Chains A and B, each alone.
Chain A
Amino acid sequence: MPSSRLLGHLAEHAVNRSRSVALVCGDREVTYGELSGLAERYAAELTALGVTPDRPVCVPAHKSIDTIALLIACFSAGTSALVPSSELGPSALRTICEQARCSHVLTAGANGRPKWTVVDGAAPEGFEPVDPSRTKVMFTTSGSTGTPKIVPVPESAFDNFAEWATKQFALTADDVSLSYAPFNFDLSLLDVWVILRLGGRVVLVEPAASADGGRLRRLVADHGVTFVQGVPLLYRLLTEDETATFRTRTVVFTGEALPHRLLPRLVRAFPEARLYNVFGCTETNDSFIHEVDPATAGARIPIGRPVDGVEAVLIGDDGAVIEGPGTGELLVRTPFQTSGYVQSALNDKVFRPAPDGVGGPFYRTGDMATRSADGTFVLEGRRDFQVKVRGIRTNVLEVEAVLASHPEVEAAAVVAVPDDAAGHRLHAEVERKPGSGLTSLKLRGHGARTLPRHAIPSTIRIGDAPLPRTSTGKPDRKLIKETVMKG
């Protein structure tokens, strides 16, 4: 999207590949010629609305062909687009629109007509404007306390990434990708925008199909999908029918560790595919890659080595750089990384100057990793209390704090329980104040006002009994977790 060079490629495809299908969604297909026409209609509407490059616009990531056309229209107009989750609550949406200085919130309607609202709040202090001539897209992280962090992706970062990904996966105009992740995830840079840049075909998975194995399998088979990228949940769904096989050429799993038992199912379902484990963050995009050889794979699949142009360092508990084999916090610097959060005060915490003082900053992934003697890396898990719930990084302590802030809550403990479908699901154990009649539904309502939906615990058990405590007086999360897992 994300770059002027991409627009140049799309303009060429509109002429040379005008009748090739660019996007498929449900029963609808649009060719590169049609996509260009649709984007032009949106561009005219944007001009009429008074959208200018001076201020970004916000385009919530509704999964549709029209959203893509609308985004292309924004980029053509020279305007940056903030692309948050389409499920973001209204108050969080307003907050990030103000922080990014957006002029409008735009939603693609039918026939090239956007629906829009004007953002009238002013940007709070400490939020830097992005330069629209250098940055066309801003993603958001999934801040679990409700206000996501805004991550600008510079044009050069996207162009570097597109070149790497094209070479790494030998992608061409003949490729057909499955777009499973929502457009607000950095995964869409590869499975949507790199593919469109090449003139390939992108098959969009609508939200209603995203947990429906049968529909997903039909999409991959019927459209001859050659490139699949997604979280383990996607592969669990694609492989749950033991008779289904696909001719996909490249399978990339990312976002969280692939459960080992999925590997034989992947091999069976994708007999012709090369399998890759990829590690990356919104802030840095893809940073590590490991081609998996199912014959030799152990229980833990490594993230492998830094991709071309990426540097990685491990930092020990003492803050010193670990040379050679060892375990520490993983820091990376990639040619694809953000120029820094829009809220500049956050940057000092997560971006560190290069240990040797040469070149740009490194990003603290917050993940612990081990480097083995042969130079490959294995992830050891989050440095703190962060887990992934449905692929979204979530801090259980932050969720706990929100629940505990209810005036009738005495104490709350939140634990992450491994879940086959969601990666993790959150369970909350809550002790209410004496005499309170607080119910789990009331507490949900309280949580829903500040937490994004994935961070609202799947189950909340509320009662008058004190929470189990450890000898040091902290909630006994281990015991709570074990009790929940026993059912």
Chain B
Amino acid sequence: MDLETQIRDYIVSEFLSGEDVPDLTDDFDLIENGVVDSLGLVRLISHISTTYAIPVDDLPLEPSNFRDIERICALIRQSPVAASG
């Protein structure tokens, strides 16, 4: 499963009560549309950190970096740990 699908599946199950729709594109703004709120962001960050073994300290915590699936994936790919692994 590619990274985009993994992140998408996580968002669908965790934040959208399992409702998967074509509207959830890789550039759909999760924060502006209230899918991920500030508490949700903490859950998302913790999930990324655990699943992809990226120390939280290495993640830029600015909400804008988690705005959409595309940016979340880019962030994971940029991480030195994930890149080497």
List chain A positions with a Cβ less than 8 A from chain B.
89, 207-208, 210-212, 390, 421-422, 439-442, 444-445, 447-448, 451, 453-454, 456-459, 461-462
Contact = CB atoms under 8 A, between A and B. Distances in A.
Given A211-B42, A212-B42, A459-B17, A444 B24 contact: no
Interface in B27-41: 28, 31-35, 37-39, 41
B42 A440 contact: no
Contacts of A444: 33-35
Contact of A422 (B23, B24, B31, B39): B39
A441 B23 contact: yes
B74 interface: no
B21 A440 contact: yes
Nearest to B61: A208
Contact of A448 (B22, B32, B41): B32
A282 to B, nearest CB: 20
Given A212-B42, A422-B39, A447 B21 contact: no
Contacts of B37: 390, 453-454, 458
Given A211-B41, A390-B39, A444-B34, 5 more contacts: A211-B38, A441-B16, A447-B34, A448-B32, A457-B34
Contacts of B35: 441, 444
Contact of A421 (B23, B34, B39): B39
8 tightest Cβ-Cβ pairs between the two chains A and B = A456-B34, A208-B61, A441-B23, A439-B21, A444-B33, A211-B42, A448-B33, A211-B39
B69 to A, nearest CB: 12
Contacts of B38: 207, 210-211, 390
A101 B61 CA distance: 34
B58 interface: no
Contact of A440 (B16, B22, B32): B16
Contact of B19 (A390, A421, A440, A456): A440
Chain A CB within 10 A, most for which of B21, B22, B24, B28 = B21
A442 B28 CA distance: 10
Contact of A439 (B23, B34, B63): B23
Contact of B24 (A441, A456, A459, A461): A441
Contacts of B61: 208
A127 B16 CA distance: 41
Contacts of A447: 33-34
A457 B34 CA distance: 8
Chain B CB within 10 A, most for which of A211, A422, A454 = A211
Contacts of A457: 34
Given A440-B19, A440-B21, A456 B33 contact: yes
Contacts of A442: 23
B23 A453 contact: no
B8 to A, nearest CB: 12
B65 to A, nearest CB: 11
A453 B29 CA distance: 12
A108 to B, nearest CB: 16
Contacts of B16: 440-441
Nearest to B19: A440
B34 A453 contact: yes
Nearest to B34: A456
B68 to A, nearest CB: 12
B17 A441 contact: no
A272 to B, nearest CB: 30
Nearest to B23: A441
Given A439-B19, A439-B23, A445 B33 contact: yes
Contacts of B32: 89, 448, 453
30 contacts: A89-B32, A207-B63, A208-B61, A210-B38, A211-B38, A211-B42, A212-B42, A390-B38, A390-B39, A439-B21, A439-B22, A439-B23, A440-B16, A440-B19, A441-B21, A441-B23, A441-B24, A441-B28, A442-B23, A444-B33, A444-B34, A444-B35, A445-B33, A447-B34, A448-B32, A453-B31, A453-B37, A456-B34, A457-B34, A459-B17
Contacts of A440: 16, 19, 21
A448 to B, nearest CB: 5
Interface string B57-79: 00001010000000000000000
A89 B19 CA distance: 26
